[in-house]
């Protein structure tokens, strides 16, 4: 590639990155010129510079007007021998609302014989563009084990009246525990989804114990009279804070030591931990990253453990404060805001990282509470409490019970 052309490529790339920090109109004014450069270029490195610049300029935006001439670029570069060129062109085409790109990705996502990773990436791309035709495809994929988790989580992004029935109508009972959690998160994301969920709990088709304390807290955050009534009927009146911390700690300690000299079972306790703690906390060799890694914590001190479990709001580092974001179409996302800029928000929930464009967010509330909810032990039996606390106090990892995945 001639030196002058390389200089022009570098200038175009650098200039576009600068445009990314200016108002959207200016960025869009640059698109036709850059599209013409792409249409004329046969140099792969030049194409990559321009495509990366376009991608950076439009980062965080679900859509942008398609520049004149893009359709021809899309068709030509879709046949590129370079994987990154093809991927960037397809991603940008989605942002520009290309029907061909959306149809191709929907077809790939639904093709059961295709590579599972490619299918999940196709769904992720369509979700990032909020493809309006995606809900029916996601609902059909909740029984496809290769992409099921992505499909279940993705349904939370859409206000579709069919979703609760799809997830609750026989699908839920056949899901592994991690994907049950995905389904519950989706059903707890909107008031219209939460009401059928709580009705299923009331009927016994979903065990009450499957709804952990953080999910119940999210349901309560809707401040909906019907939902509040359903929660009260299922769990009784819930108090956020016990009036006497030490009294509560002593009560749980008595429960713990009632198990004898070896109060609990480590492997069984690991199962309980995986159910109610692991989505947020890393311990030993697994777990989430919402809360702090507790591997090096003072876990051998029972009082320390109980103070932190029963009263997580006593001391809350800013990086673990919960925020609730409500979208303009009624979705509620509760988590820790990891990033906020002119483009939008990145929120770490208990199970995934959610990106929301700023224009879709109607309300942001930062709580004075920790992401870790109170009442974590409330749904557990006495033996489950003993098993969990015993496991948390082990100096090293223990095996799961035989036959447990």
Domain ranges of the chain: 3-97, 102-235, 245-312+374-392, 318-370
Rounded to whole angstroms, the Cα distance separating 255 from 268 reads 17
Q: How does pLDDT run along the chain (405 residues), one tens digit per residue?
A: 454 444 454 444 434 444 444 444 344 567 888 888 888 889 999 999 889 888 888 877 888 899 999 999 999 998 899 989 998 999 899 999 999 999 999 999 999 999 999 999 999 999 988 999 999 999 999 999 999 999 999 999 999 999 999 999 889 999 988 899 899 999 999 999 999 999 999 999 998 888 877 788 889 888 899 998 888 887 765 545 455 778 888 999 999 999 888 899 999 999 999 988 888 888 988 888 777 888 888 888 898 888 888 887 766 666 777 899 999 999 999 988 988 988 899 998 888 889 999 999 999 998 877 778 778 888 899 999 999 999 999 999 999 998 776
Q: What is the pLDDT of residue 289?
A: 77
Q: What is the pLDDT of residue 327?
A: 95
Largest CA distance in the chain: 80
pLDDT tens digits for range 262-306: 899 999 999 999 988 888 888 988 888 777 888 888 888 898 888
Contacts of 93 (CB under 8 A, 6+ apart): 70, 74, 100, 101
Among 199, 174, 212, which residue's Cα sits nearest to residue 351? 212
Q: What is the pLDDT of residue 28?
A: 52
Rounded to whole angstroms, the Cα distance separating 197 from 102 reads 31
Q: What is the pLDDT of residue 236?
A: 64
Which token pair is 194?
Answer: 């939460």
The CATH label, of 2.60.120, 1.10.760, 2.60.40, 3.30.70, for the domain at 245-312+374-392 is 1.10.760
Its pTM stands at: 0.73
- CATH architecture under which domain 318-370 falls: Roll (2.30)
For residue 353, what are the β-bridge partners? 348
Q: What is the pLDDT of residue 63?
A: 87
Q: What angle do CA 355, 360, 364 make, to 5 degrees?
A: 80
Q: What spatial distance separates the first Cα and last Cα of the chain, rounded to whole Å?
A: 55
The region, left, alpha or beta by phi > 0 then psi within -120 to 50, assigned to residue 22 is beta
For residue 266, what are the β-bridge partners? none
Q: What is the pLDDT of residue 292?
A: 80
Rounded to whole angstroms, the Cα distance separating 192 from 171 reads 19
Rounded to whole angstroms, the Cα distance separating 317 from 334 reads 17
Rounded to whole angstroms, the Cα distance separating 305 from 309 reads 6
Rounded to whole angstroms, the Cα distance separating 205 from 165 reads 13
Q: What angle do CA 71, 75, 81 make, to 5 degrees?
A: 140
Q: What is the pLDDT of residue 404?
A: 76
For residue 347, what are the β-bridge partners? 337, 354
Determine contact, residues 131/162, Cβ cutoff 8 Å. Answer: no
């Amino acid at each position: 590639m001639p030196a002058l052309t390389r200089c022009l490529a570098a200038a175009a790339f650098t200039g576009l990155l600068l445009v990314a920090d200016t108002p959207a109109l200016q960025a869009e004014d640059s698109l036709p010129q850059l599209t013409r450069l792409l249409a004329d270029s046969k140099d792969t490195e030049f194409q990559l510079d321009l495509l990366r610049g376009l991608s950076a300029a439009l980062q965080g935006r679900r859509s942008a007007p398609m520049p004149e001439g893009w359709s021809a670029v899309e068709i030509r570069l879709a046949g590129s021998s370079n994987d990154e060129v093809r991927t960037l062109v397809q991603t940008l085409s989605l942002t520009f609302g290309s029907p061909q790109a959306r149809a191709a990705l929907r077809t790939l996502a639904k093709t059961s014989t295709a590579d599972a990773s490619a299918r999940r990436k196709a769904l992720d791309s369509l979700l990032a563009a909020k493809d309006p035709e995606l809900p029916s495809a996601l609902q059909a994929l909740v029984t496809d084990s290769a992409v099921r988790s992505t499909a279940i989580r993705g349904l939370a992004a859409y206000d579709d009246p069919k979703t609760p029935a799809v997830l609750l109508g026989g699908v839920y009972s056949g899901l592994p525990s991690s994907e049950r959690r995905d389904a519950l998160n989706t059903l707890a994301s909107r008031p219209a989804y939460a009401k059928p969920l709580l009705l299923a709990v009331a009927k016994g088709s979903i065990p009450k114990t499957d709804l952990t304390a953080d999910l119940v807290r999210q349901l309560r955050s809707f401040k909906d009279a019907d939902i509040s009534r359903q929660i009260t009927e299922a769990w009784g009146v819930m108090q956020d804070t016990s009036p006497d911390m030490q009294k509560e700690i002593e009560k749980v300690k008595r429960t713990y030591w009632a198990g004898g000299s070896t109060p609990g079972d480590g492997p069984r306790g690991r199962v309980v931990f995986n159910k109610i703690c692991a989505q947020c906390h890393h311990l030993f060799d697994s777990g989430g990253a919402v809360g702090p890694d507790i591997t090096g914590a003072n876990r051998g001190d029972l009082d320390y453990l109980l103070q932190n479990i029963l009263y997580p709001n006593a001391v809350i580092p800013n990086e673990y404060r919960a925020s609730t974001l409500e979208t303009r179409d009624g979705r509620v996302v509760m988590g820790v805001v990891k990033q906020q800029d002119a483009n939008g928000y990145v929120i770490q929930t208990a199970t995934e990282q959610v990106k929301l464009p700023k224009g879709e967010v109607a309300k942001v509330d930062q709580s004075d509470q920790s992401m870790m909810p109170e009442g974590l032990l409330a749904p557990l039996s006495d033996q489950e409490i003993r098993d969990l606390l015993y496991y948390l106090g082990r100096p090293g990892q223990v095996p799961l019970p035989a036959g447990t995945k």
